[in-house]
Structure 1
């Protein structure tokens, strides 16, 4: 995604504004933690869209990470890796304000990827 991290944050604010009564403080806090981590890691900026629940869904066009999708909930992040026929999914439990596991951090696209 082109643009700045401020643009990414604005996208999240716009999504919340479209459904202000549906996005709880927990899911917004987990999303803020995730974006802060990705920015610190100098990660690829994601494309962000609304999820169904409501959640946030992040997709990437960074080479090697086109098959990665993250879905942000109020208590976890679901990590999807799509293949030609199936997909793998795992959960990263997350309490707002706490850290992320090393395994999760390794899943993210960074400038060193």
Structure 2
């Protein structure tokens, strides 16, 4: 993905601006934690969009990670892997300001993976 982390954060702000009363402090804080982790670990920058709920959906175009999708809620991140007609999903429970599991970190594609 071209661009920079400031572009990703700008997209987050644009998603919030579409429904500002819906995106609460919790989901915004967890999204900020996810992006800070990814930037600190030099992970691939995601494409960010709104979820059906007041959530953020992150998609990737890094080879081998095109089927990865993260959905950020106010108390967790849902981690999806899509395969043909099936998918796997698991939850990464998260409290703003706390760390992430090693399993979650392993799911994140490296920049230029």
**Shorter-chain TM-score above 0.5:** yes
Alpha-carbon distance in structure 2 between the residues aligned to 1:5 and 1:33: 13
Alpha-carbon distance in structure 2 between the residues aligned to 1:39 and 1:23: 22
- Equivalent in the alignment of 1:32: 32
Alpha-carbon distance in structure 1 between the residues aligned to 2:111 and 2:27: 26
- Identify unmatched segments of 5+ residues in structure 2: none
Shift of 1:111: 3.2
**TM-score computed with the length of structure 2 as normaliser:** 0.97
The DSSP-based 3-state class of the residue aligned with 2:3 is coil
Q: CA RMSD in A?
A: 1.0
- Equivalent in the alignment of 1:109: 109
- Identify unmatched segments of 5+ residues in structure 1: none
Hey, which bits of structure 1, 4+ residues long, moved more than 3 A?
Answer: none
Alpha carbons 1:57, 1:71 under 8 Å: kept: yes
- Equivalent in the alignment of 2:77: 77
Shift of 1:112: 7.4
**TM-score computed with the length of structure 1 as normaliser:** 0.97
Alpha-carbon distance in structure 1 between the residues aligned to 2:56 and 2:2: 19
- Equivalent in the alignment of 1:90: 90
The DSSP-based 3-state class of the residue aligned with 1:2 is coil
The DSSP-based 3-state class of the residue aligned with 1:99 is coil
